[in-house]
Amino acid sequence: MKIAVVGLGIIGGSFCKAIKLHTQHHVIGINRTLSVARQALADGAIDEIGSPEQLGSADLIILCMYPQACVDFIRENGCHIRRGAIVTDSSGIKRAICPQLCELSREFGFVFVGSHPMAGKETNGYASSDGRLYEGASFIITPCGAPDEAVDTLAELALSIGFGSVTMSDPEEHDRMIAYTSQLPHILACAYVLSPCCPNHKGFSAGSYRDVSRVANINSKLWSELFLENREPLIEELRELNKNLTAIIDAIKESDRDAIADLLEQGHRVKQMLGE
């Protein structure tokens, strides 16, 4: 296949590198800042530098920009995509993006399949991209009505470039689960490091601090957009967390040892049941 990757940040750059590392597909890199695309070419992460006008040569297009920027890009450049080509986004939210891209797919005659690679780092940009970033990770696909053939093509590509599994979902389930698995930890991490104790943690901290604070090193522009585009499921998860947190806090305030132990034991049992 000829695969065009649009946006060579950590996600797009890692797709390019993983495809070149594992497959014979031809990779076209498209990036607003040309110097980054040149670097990718020099690294062998892409086979050629492309432009939106050249999208017609691609069999598969992977959009790796901010969510709304993906929609804007297709609205502007959808006319260049050849009929029947597969387009996928890699956005961390789906309800706000998939319906718009589905509509554009009908308008321009391409096939849209939503997807979300479940991997990342606390750093950004092409310099952070890594051909092994997706190794063992889950690749979520939201087919959104696309033909099985296109869904299979995308799933096979994901598994061939190192993803450990493919999870089929729909935009509603995806957004509800992502609010919990990804967005909530980022909010917790940011709230956590705002304590006046944080700047003095060294010498007093170990793995617990490191793990809960890691993703506070956040791209605030991207995540503000992700949070707002997923406002309702996220608020629901924050409410759930607040309820459970309050129960533990109240038990501590009341010095109720049995109640504390019981709540902690519930947490312990969830992890044990999951074998984690």
Site for a second copy in 16-55 (CB under 8 A): none
Angstrom CA distances, 100 to 133, 187, 235, stand at: 28, 27, 23
Q: 172: which 2 tokens?
A: 């509603």
CA pair distance 102, 86, nearest whole angstrom: 12
**How big is the site for a second copy, counted in residues (CB under 8 A)?**
93
Among the residue ranges 48-56, 63-71, 78-86, 226-234, the one whose residues contact a second copy (CB under 8 A): 226-234
Among 33, 103, 149, 249, binds a second copy (CB under 8 A): 249
Is the CB of 39 or the CB of 115 nearer to a second copy? Answer: 115
Q: State the minimum distance, in angstroms, from the CB of residue 31 to a second copy.
A: 24
Q: State the minimum distance, in angstroms, from the CB of residue 168 to a second copy.
A: 9
Is the CB of 52 or the CB of 120 nearer to a second copy? Answer: 120
138-167 binders of a second copy (CB under 8 A) = 138, 140, 165, 167
Among the residue ranges 54-62, 63-71, 148-156, 247-255, the one whose residues contact a second copy (CB under 8 A): 247-255
CA pair distance 79, 56, nearest whole angstrom: 9
With a CB cutoff of 8 Å and minimum separation 6, the contacts of 39 are 126
Among the residue ranges 20-28, 57-65, 93-101, 225-233, the one whose residues contact a second copy (CB under 8 A): 225-233
Is the CB of 37 or the CB of 93 nearer to a second copy? Answer: 93
Q: State the minimum distance, in angstroms, from the CB of residue 196 to a second copy.
A: 7
Q: State the minimum distance, in angstroms, from the CB of residue 159 to a second copy.
A: 14
79-118 binders of a second copy (CB under 8 A) = 118
Task: Evaluate whether 80 touches 54 at the Cβ level (below 8 Å).
Answer: yes
Among 21, 49, 79, 218, binds a second copy (CB under 8 A): 218
Strands 138-142 and 114-117, by their bridges, are antiparallel
| Residue 223 near a second copy by CB under 8 A | yes
Instruction: Kindly state the helix (H) or strand (E) to which residue 158 belongs, with its residue range.
Output: helix 148-160
Angle formed at CA 84 by CA 154 and CA 96, multiple of 5 degrees: 65
Binding characters for a second copy, 192-211, by CB under 8 A (x = yes): xxxxxxxxxxxxxxxxxxxx
Q: 73: which 2 tokens?
A: 């890009």
Classify residue 200 as exposed, middle or buried by CB count within 10 Å of its CB (0-12, 13-18, 19+). Answer: exposed
Q: State the minimum distance, in angstroms, from the CB of residue 244 to a second copy.
A: 4
- Which strand ranges, in their side-by-side order, compose the sheet holding 48-49? 48-49, 26-30, 2-6, 60-63, 86-88, 111-112
